[in-house]
Structure 1
């Protein structure tokens, strides 16, 4: 069993195909724990978070971020994951308790929970005046197929994507992970077909993660007899950017009427972070002081 969350990047010897593979079990479990998700919601949330971390591994600068947003008009609602260039990620699903019965033994109904009538959106903020935003219609709501469609339609990169989250009987996440294989200029169809067959032979990427000792061994299975080089490795972690001071500043921007309404609903001033579920409590004196300090 792999004991840590991390990511590997590799390239074939001919430098025509690049592979990114990640183990995200602890991350997916942390997301489940923080949001108290149902089995199917855990699978959907874990897939989106894993996908964002795989994509975010291409971020270059210290402050770069990538946000993956999926809204298929299903009962799970919108799912959003944001990652940085250091392998830190956070995510939420709008309706964490939403669930659906499985139509196939051993396969959670993620596509039905997510829905197929909406879109997949990628926002890359690299410090430019405007972030890059790419959006495509959903294909299946299963996330991996939708991401394959995004790469082809929005970025013109032929890609193979596999994502998986294995949920245990106690609703904890037993294993999670994913991979992206992308064709570079000069890639041969035979090479891509071989890699696709190898991915299909894995059956379920989450099962592979549960059985394997490390990502290097998974990469060997994936590449078969094809030569390759590992060109990068990085740790992954669930980490939120919220803090007490930042959220207090948000409260300070609200009118006194809005603050009074919030206090009436909860009995006190409190703010809960959507991404990590952390709850912060404030008294009126703190907020009044911040309002005085505003220019």
Structure 2
């Protein structure tokens, strides 16, 4: 099931704002990777922030890949997303044990680290990739995307993301918002937005109370103060099928496929983004070798 995403503009035309309920996609991603409690929060925040950013800066067939490396124990956070609402990602250390801060809350910043960068690569048809990079400012992910958008995209923005966990380490709720100032935004309006964001109910509380994406934005700007421009679905990108992975194997030298048979009695492919495993028997790999040889003979 796809989660709901909305794109809006404030009635005074000072801001455009995006919000999404990403509970299902974060649940599916963390279940597929069997992530630990802390890794689930980090991965979920990465998926949410990337989804929001993709919807704000991409169009058509464009897509983006983000990498966060703060040199923390979680390792790399890698997420890909497109303009159509598909997203997928993983963290290097998906079994990281819980780390707590002084308030006994999961310490995302320490897990991610701050001695590194957020890098975003944007891909568009028929053009070279665009790579933007900014330093990590907090390791909390939402703040780091906020800083990136201001520095690399020159778009004054605020990104808020939250993943709330159940006692059994499953995902209870996940969602976020992104607010961007438009050219007509006055200094007074921006100052007021900062005040409103500081005074609003915590995002995690709103998600627990089942706030819709629209209600989250109305909690920021006021009831009836935003106009919906788009409602769309956001969900995990489709995993390549076993047939697709077989096609990839046919691009390898036949000697490498034979080594898989001789040394491992088959081959197991693990999808980095999905965690799914596909096993190829010696007989299946022998068929792959026959196809490789036939293609090379043409």
Same fold (TM over 0.5): yes
Which stretch shows the higher mean deviation, 234-243 or 147-156?
234-243
**Counterpart Cα distance in 1 of 2:12 and 2:91:** 40
Matching residue of 2:290: 289
Aligned to 1:121: 119
Q: Deviations over 1:203-234 (max 9, x none)?
A: 43122112034222222111126832111111
Once superposed, what is the RMSD of the aligned Cα atoms?
2.1
Pair 1:45 & 2:46 matched: no
Question: Which 5+ residue runs of structure 1 have no aligned equivalent?
Answer: none
Match of 1:86 in 2: 84
Q: Residue 277 of structure 1 aligns with which residue?
A: 275
* TM-score normalised by length of structure 1: 0.91
- 1:156 is matched with 154
Alignment length (residue pairs):
292
* CA deviation after TM superposition for structure 1 residue 74, in Å: 1.1
Partner of 2:231: 233
**Residue equivalent to 1:71:** 69
Question: Residues 164 and 177 of structure 1 are in contact (CA less than 8 Å); yes or no, is this contact kept in structure 2?
Answer: yes
Distance 1:111 1:261, change over 3 A: farther
Which one of the candidate residues 26, 29, 32 is aligned to 2:27? 29
3-state DSSP class of the match of 1:236? strand
Report the Cα offset of residue 271 of structure 1. Answer: 0.9
Q: Secondary structure at the match of 1:98?
A: coil
Q: What does 1:217-228 align with in structure 2 at a 5 Å threshold? A: 217-224=215-222, 227-228=225-226
Q: In 2 relative to 1, CA 139–255 (structure 1 residues): closer, same or farther, beyond 3 Å?
A: same
Match of 2:209 among 195, 208, 211: 211
Shift of the alpha carbon at 1:262? 4.6
Q: 2:9 aligns with which of 8, 11, 25?
A: 11
Cα distance change, pair 128–207 in 1 and its aligned pair in 2 (3 A): farther
Moved more, 81-90 or 257-266: 257-266
**1:12, 1:226 within 8 Å by CA — same for their partners in 2?**
no
Q: TM-score, normalised by structure 2?
A: 0.90
**Which residue number corresponds to residue 244 of structure 2?**
246
Residue 102 (structure 2) pairs with residue 101 (structure 1): no
Unpaired runs of 5+ residues, structure 2, are none
